[in-house]
Amino acid sequence: MDFKSLEKLELNKILSAVSDYASTDGGKTRITSCVPSSDLSEVRNRLALTAECDRLLYKYGVSKIENFCNLSDEITRAAKGSALSCGELLNAAALLRSARCAFISIDKTDKDDIVLIRRISQNLYYNKNLEDDITDKIISVDAVSDSASERLFSIRSKIRNLNAKIREKLSEYTSGKYGEYLQDSIVTMRNDRYVIPVKAEHKSHVRGLIHDRSKTGATFFIEPEYVLELNNELIALSIDEREEVEAILKALSLRIGEMSEQLLKDMDILYELDSLYARAEYSYAHKCTMPKVNDKGYISIVKGRHPLIDKNKCVPVSIELGDKYSYLLLSGANTGGKTVTMKMTGLFCLMAACGLFIPVADGSAVSVFDNVYCDIGDSQSIEESLSTFSSHLTNIINICNSADARSLVLIDELGGGTNPDEGQAIAKAVVEHLVNRGTKGIVTTHFTPLKEFAYSMNGIENASMEFDSNTLKPLYSIKIGLPGASNALAIARRLGMDKSILERAEGYLSEGARAFENVVRRAEDSRIEAEKKLAEVTEIQREWRDKLAKVNSQIEELNKEKEKINRSARAESRRIISDRTEKAEEMLAAIEEIFQKEELKEADLIAARTIKNRLKNAAFEEESDIKKAVDFTAATVQNIEIGKEVYVKAMECRGTVTGLNVKKDEVEVNTGTLKMHVKIKDLFIVGNKVQQQQKVKVVKKLPRSMPVLEINILGLTVPEALYEVDNFIDRAVTDNLEEVKIIHGVGTGKLRSAIHERLKKHKNVESFRLGKYGEGETGVTFVKLK
């Protein structure tokens, strides 16, 4: 890769921003030192790894890599037998913990879409016992726990007891008869031994060893011979303590050294995982998507945003290259976004080659290149005495000599900085040379001859950055196939240049240049206007589609309401039939009771004939009662009012009056699911139900069983089960039930399938479903009746 071009395209800034998401210094280094790959399979593998990390972090909730220090030197020393310090051992424990957490969190995510990362994490090594031993025995960067070993606990207990004993003995000096000889009533330490501060003039009164003297000479620090042996014993215990601590650290360090190869490998794997997680985090934070990659030079960017520009201010740009044409000749007004678009194209290819997602819409594609060359910006070199043009030309020469079919070339203002005639001639020749070599690329220009040249040469296509000629503001949108006008004079006019100067400038334009720019400008204006009209037509079509969908939805709601009313009517009919049947059974039972008497009297015969007549007239009474069940009155302007319950004849449904318009002879009716405006003449006012008078007292009732809500057909053959189910559903309909349950069990599923086939064709079945969790699941079927 041409590293100067990578820097000009600002890949280093992107990698630096990605590294901010890494947890470890090693992970940050992996990212900032990443070099774009030119191998298609390697790039696809990098992107796949980033995609898996994205799923781990944001779909399966896996945590990032825990931070740890670089322990390469410490682990190497431990492998050679050196003892590590408390702090170094704690860092080693942090490494072991990071490896353990990474391994377990990835391993427990047993998903088919996590393959590559699991393959990496399976090589992680961790030792929970050693990790716990280190954290239990070492309590800080410079202290070992008392419980690190039994011997250390014993030694430190003796030291504490001895310290207390020595202080107790010395307190006799500070508070007893020797108190007048002391400078202060305190006990202090010199050379790790307890001493007391004695006045210089009284040092002969206190027997013991002199360890120190104050700078003024007024105080001598004397160790009384009374505690001499105790201090000696304390020193000996301190030596034992130090040796025991060293032995503990040595033992832990030895265990670290024994697994040095695995730990060094762990560091390498964790740094790699950390860098992959950082790529996924960056992509998520910047709303990036995974592009399709190829090695054919095809680039298709859909709504791309330059990642270094504030996403709230950046206008998405779409661009295509490498299929029907190899080069885009990008023209248009200054500040229109040509350079940014060109840099964005190259940067996206480099980002993908580093395994990074790019801020584009779905469906975008980039290509893998062996080299990306660019000549952008002012490259004037004072050290090499090169002018701007000379510096650009040097870069162009290098590109022409080095670029091949596997190269992407990006050149800004080709041929600029010198005589326009010679500059455009060089530009034509360079573009022709690069196209013939099979390279892919983008060239920006303001040269009119170069725009005309693009029309006559295969492999290169004109493109323009849109510019609103009315507001003189760029629109940051690319249009392929049409060159853009520079609009230099229009911009100068907008910025306030004197009118007379602009008129003279227009006079200096050549006739051909003026004609070409006018044609381009008019064509661009016409295209923009046509696209506005197309957008308006598209919006109108969308509105009408929405309205049509709304009407269809209302029709569907009306059909549902109608079906609901029909179901309610069927249920009411079943109820009336059930009531009439019960009354008929009661009358039959009364007649039966009369004729069971041994001796019939005249009154019994009269009662029997009366019941017979009632039974005979039951059919007529039933029809009459149904008709009288609801009292309908034709609606008029006089009797209609808000709040009345009405029957809508056209819709065959009931509703409530919510609005009244006497002038139009119509009302607003709310049917529950929708509101409608209906003419008054099409309505009936619903009255109260007519109360039926009970005419016969029941003497005897036939026993009626409670409705059966479920049937168990376990153990039956298919024909037997179908027969029982048919009878069961018929009884359920008669009992006016809405839902029943069939218990058929799981088994081979043959019985369940046969039942379901019968239910699909049954005239009284509206729908059916298997049981939910807690209802019997696949062993039962719930049936909803019509």
Residue 143 pairs in a beta bridge with: 140
Among the ranges given (81-90, 144-153, 721-730), the one the predictor scored with the smallest mean pLDDT: 721-730
Q: Is 438 exposed, middle or buried (0-12, 13-18, 19+ CB in 10 A)?
A: middle
44-69 in b/e burial notation, b at 16+ Cβ within 10 A? bebbebbbbbbbbbeeeebebbbebb
Residue with more model confidence, 251 or 761: 251
Q: Please provide residue 325's backbone torsions phi and psi, each rounded to the nearest 5 degrees.
A: -145, 150
CB 564 within 8 A of CB 671: no
Model pLDDT, residue 690:
38
Model pLDDT, residue 178:
65
Tell me the pLDDT band of 418, cut-offs 50, 70 and 90: confident
Single-letter code of the amino acid located at 100: R
Q: Are strands 440-444 and 143-144 parallel, antiparallel or unpaired?
A: unpaired
CB 94 within 8 A of CB 69: yes
Tens of pLDDT, residue by residue over 540-586, are 888 888 888 888 888 888 877 777 776 666 666 666 776 777 777 77
Model pLDDT, residue 83:
94
Average the pLDDT over 724-748 and give the result: 84
Most confident of 99-108, 734-743, 745-754: 99-108
Model pLDDT, residue 117:
94
Q: Does residue 626 carry a pLDDT above 50? A: no
Taking alpha carbons only, the member of 14, 50, 12, 1 closest to residue 369 is 1
Tens of pLDDT, residue by residue over 180-232, are 667 676 777 787 788 878 888 777 777 777 888 888 888 888 888 778 888 88
Locate tokens 């995974």: which residue? 290
> Alpha-carbon distance 240 to 370, whole Å?
66
Residue 46 CA from chain centroid, whole number? 20
CA-to-CA dists, residue 286 to 10, 52, 274, 292, 773, angstroms: 17, 17, 18, 18, 42
Considering just the CA atoms, what is the radius of gyration of the chain in Å? Answer: 48
CB 272 within 8 A of CB 335: no
Model pLDDT, residue 502:
66
Among the ranges given (260-269, 562-571, 649-658, 705-714), the one the predictor scored with the smallest mean pLDDT: 562-571
Among the ranges given (57-66, 95-104, 581-590), the one the predictor scored with the smallest mean pLDDT: 581-590
Q: Does residue 505 carry a pLDDT above 60? A: yes
Give the sign of the dihedral formed by CA 104, CA 110, CA 116, CA 122. Answer: positive
Give the sign of the dihedral formed by CA 249, CA 254, CA 256, CA 257. Answer: positive
Taking alpha carbons only, the member of 394, 374, 375 closest to residue 384 is 394
**Helix or strand or coil: residue 112?**
coil
Q: How many CA atoms lie within 13 A of 654 on its CB side?
A: 13
Specify the DSSP class assigned to residue 381. B
Q: Give this prediction's pTM.
A: 0.61
End-to-end CA distance of the chain: 74
Residue with more model confidence, 383 or 713: 713
Locate tokens 């202080």: which residue? 167
Q: What is the dihedral of CA 557, 558, 559, 561, to 10 degrees?
A: 90
